[in-house]
Chain A
C-alpha cells in the first residue's frame, strides 16, 4: 500500500478504472471527471493523491489550491473516494496537510457532501451553505 501524488496525465487516466461515486457529487459522468482531471495534470493548483495496492487505486482525494490572498487562504477538498479503513485514509489526509503547510495555508475545507465522513478525521462543521435550485 503506497500513497502517491498523481503528477502526470498518464497517472490521472488510471482513475478511469476506479469505480467511484463521483456522479453523486459532481454534475458530470465518471469519465468526464477523469478526463477533466487528465486535463488538469499540469495545473499546480489541482492535486490528487491516490492509495495504490500494486497497480490498483483503492482510494484517492482531489484537492484544489484556492489560495488567493487576501481574499481566500485555504485548500478545498473537492472529492474523496475510499474503500479503505481510517488508518490508510488518515495517511492520505496527512499528505494534504503537508501540502497545506508547504503553501503556508492554515485551513482545509471540503464540500459539504463529504462533511459527515471527514468529521471522523478531525474536521469541524462551522457553517452551512444555502442553495437555490434554478428550474
Chain B
C-alpha cells in the first residue's frame, strides 16, 4: 500500500463490501449446488442460501460484440473428488448454470448482477478440476452452423425452417398449383388458368409429366400472363393437356424474404432468413 494514501482510503479499499465475489449456481435434478469463488463460505442474501467456498476459474470465454458472454468453460475444484460423485449420481448436461456477481456486505435479494446464465454440456474431469463447457441459451450439439456460412439464405424455400410462420407454405394455394397445360414447347408452358401477377412463379419449380409418364422438373425463369418460361429445356415438347404442378420459389435474398416481391413468401418472412447478413460482399443484394 502506498504511504501517501490516507488511512481512510486504505480502509475503504479494504472494506468487505468493495470486494466482489462470484457465485456459481448449478441447478441439478437432485438439488441446487451453490459455490462461491471465495476462501470462506458466503451467505447471500442475508440469512439466505449458503454458497460453499470453492476454487473456481473461467476459461474459453467467447463474447458477442456487445460484451455478452455466449459460451464459457467453468472449472471447479475437484481435489476432494466430490464433483466426481455428483456427476456420477446426477446428470449435468442440459442443466442450468448461473454466475452472479455480488459484493460482500450487500444484503438485498436483488443485489446481484447476473454475469452469465447458460446450459451445461457434458463435464470433463481430471483429478484437480471439473471443467464444464456452458453455453448461453440452448447448448450447441455441434460447434458449427448446420448451413453454409454465406450471405444468401441456404434454407430450402418452403422447408421446415423457412416456413415456420407459414409464409412459404408449398402444400396449397397460393404458392402451389396444379393443372394441365393449354400448349407448350421445350422451354415454355402456356396455361390461361395461371392468372397470377407477372413474375409470381419466377424462381419456382415446375414439374411436368412429359410424354404422359416420365416426370421432369425445372426452375422457372420467367412468368407472365399464363406463360411459364425456363432456360433449360425439357427433353420433349410440352403438349396440350400435360399435367403439371408449380411451386413458388425465391432467389434466397433478404429483399425477397421481406415479401415485397411478386415471388417469394406471401408476407414478410425475414424472421426466418437463413443467411448471414453480416458476411461482407462486394456486390449489393
Contact = CB atoms under 8 A, between A and B. Distances in A.
Contacts of A29: 31-32, 49
A14 B86 CA distance: 7
A2 interface: no
A35 B52 CA distance: 7
Contacts of A36: 50, 52
Interface string A7-24: 011111110110000000
B82 interface: yes
B84 interface: yes
B34 A14 contact: no
B30 A31 contact: yes
Given A29-B31, A29-B32, A38 B52 contact: yes
Interface string B9-51: 0000000000000000000101111100000010000000110
- Size bracket, chain A contacts: 20 to 34
A-side interface mostly: helix
A33 to B, nearest CB: 9
A76 to B, nearest CB: 20
B50 to A, nearest CB: 5
B110 interface: no
Interface in B39-86: 41, 49-50, 52-53, 80-86
B109 to A, nearest CB: 16
Query: Which of A13, A38, A39 gathers most chain B CB within 10 Å?
Result: A13
Contacts of B84: 10, 13
Contact of A10 (B30, B33, B85): B85
A41 interface: yes
A9 B31 contact: no
A32 interface: yes
A54 to B, nearest CB: 13
Interface string B260-279: 00000000000000000000
B50 A8 contact: no
A12 B33 CA distance: 14
Interface of B: 28, 30-34, 41, 49-50, 52-53, 80-86, 89-90
